Amino acid sequence: MPTAIVRPVSPAIQACELTHLERLPIDLSNAQSQHNRYCTTLAAHGYQVVELTLAEDLADSVFVEDTAVVLPELAIITRPGAESRRPELAAMAAVLQNYRQLAWLSEPATLDGGDVVVLGKSIWIGLSSRSNQAAVEQVQTLTAPFGYRVQGVELGQCLHLKSAVCAVDQTTVLINPQWVDRQVFAEYQVIEVDPREEYAANVVQLHDGRLLYEQAYPATAERLRQQGYQLILLDNSELAKAEGALTCCSVLVD
């Protein structure tokens, strides 16, 4: 059964890391109910939802995506670029070891899982304020025995590569060309976000082919529907104030 690893919203969320956004008040109970809806939606679509223990003091711990990269052959526990986030790793490793052989990154590598896009045997890593070239090299070394090719990607003014581009199926990406060069994905079919919706490239691809998608981007949603994708819309507006998008809130183990 496909599994989704999640973690509750910390009551310390107001103290989250912020890079490109101004700090706005975050309504904890609203964030929790939006997050609950996210989890029940995953369950309704066939995922066994495994919840890590609430980490009261770890402001960003709901954003589990940044702590691990899961491939069919192994799981890589990351080394997040923000030091405040490194204590999040232990809980994820403890659960993921039940599903995959684990590998760890080491200094000087820094990597947030939100910077990693995987399509088949290709891995792209955003060279962001969180993830670096040493991570590209270490991930290449760890995954080369399984035939992966890893490359670093320059990013515009966004936090993570997955703010700029996500796969919507095995041959197609949804991309904001303002933040990442679409030539990087020249071998793939490319759907561009509507230019009025700069955060609209983040999308969760479910095991049944449907897409979990943020309801705040109707013009891009329409582009996806026109290409035949089935969307499940969610409201992630509260965690968006913490610079978190929909992919950030789960690690999917298919």
Catalytic residue numbers read 160, 248
Using CB under 6 A as the binding rule, whether residue 65 contacts ligand CIR is answered as: yes
Residues 86-125 contacting ligand CIR, CB under 6 A: 114
Say which amino acid occupies 15. Answer: A
How far is it, in rounded angstroms, from Cα 147 to Cα 201? 27
> For residue 182, what are the contacts with CB-CB under 8 A and spacing of at least 6?
175, 190, 192
At its nearest, how many Å lie between ligand CIR and the CB of residue 147?
26
Question: Among 4, 5, 16, 251, which residue sits at the site for ligand CIR (rule: CB under 6 A)?
Answer: 16
How far is it, in rounded angstroms, from Cα 173 to Cα 161? 12
Q: Taking contact as CB under 6 A, which single stretch among the options 13-21, 67-75, 146-154, 212-220 is the one that binds ligand CIR?
A: 13-21
Q: Give helix then strand counts, H and E, for the chain.
A: 6, 15
Using CB under 6 A as the binding rule, whether residue 17 contacts ligand CIR is answered as: yes
How far is it, in rounded angstroms, from Cα 45 to Cα 207? 9
Question: Among 42, 66, 211, 229, which residue sits at the site for ligand CIR (rule: CB under 6 A)?
Answer: 66
At its nearest, how many Å lie between ligand CIR and the CB of residue 160?
4
Question: 217: closest CA among 202, 239, 205, 204?
Answer: 202
Question: Among 26, 49, 74, 82, which residue sits at the site for ligand CIR (rule: CB under 6 A)?
Answer: 82
Residues 192-251 contacting ligand CIR, CB under 6 A: 242-245, 248
